[in-house]
Amino acid sequence: MTPLIVAFVWTGGLMALFGMKLNFYNLVVFPSMVGIGVDNGVHLFHRYLEEGRGSLPFVIRRTGWAIFMTTLTTIVGYSGLVFAHHKGLQSMGLVAVIGIGVAFVAAMVLLPSLIQAMESRKALPVEGVAS
């Protein structure tokens, strides 16, 4: 959940930086952001648990690519709204592109960093399920 919470904080910060306001249109994006953010973290961590200690570079290369593709297709879908003439739909597209993009970055940078830190302290009891 940590990468997802960080993604929400970063999204709020970027919205404030760009002068964007939360409204009924772009509020619809947040459930999608939760879904993508949770999926990214779950898939990455589950694959790490399957592979075991020391597998983080492999997990990032393999599962990271799949996470990137699913995130990219969602961003491309929402990015069509960025070009809408309706300001509400346009803000929905912008917040989706920012939020889902930030959720991807948080999952691919923050989560592996946390896993590596815990692995270094031997705080993760991971032996690897796959052989």
Instruction: Render 58-110 in DSSP notation, one character per residue.
Output: HHHHHHHHHHHHHHHHHHHHHHGGGG-SSHHHHHHHHHHHHHHHHHHHIIIII
Neighbours of 46 (CB within 10 A): 13
Token output for 98: 């920012």
Tokens 């960093």 identify what position? 113
Q: What is the pLDDT of residues 90-120, one digit of tens each?
A: 999 999 999 999 999 999 999 999 888 888 8
Q: How far apart are CA 62 and CA 94, in angstroms?
A: 29
Q: Which of 92, 59, 58, 64 is nearest to 78 (CA)?
A: 92
Tokens 């961003």 identify what position? 75
Q: Which of 79, 67, 73 is nearest to 37 (CA)?
A: 67
* pTM, to two decimals: 0.84
Q: What is the pLDDT of residues 25-82, one digit of tens each?
A: 889 899 999 999 899 999 999 999 888 888 888 999 899 899 999 999 999 999 999 9
Contact 95, 104 (CB under 8 A): no
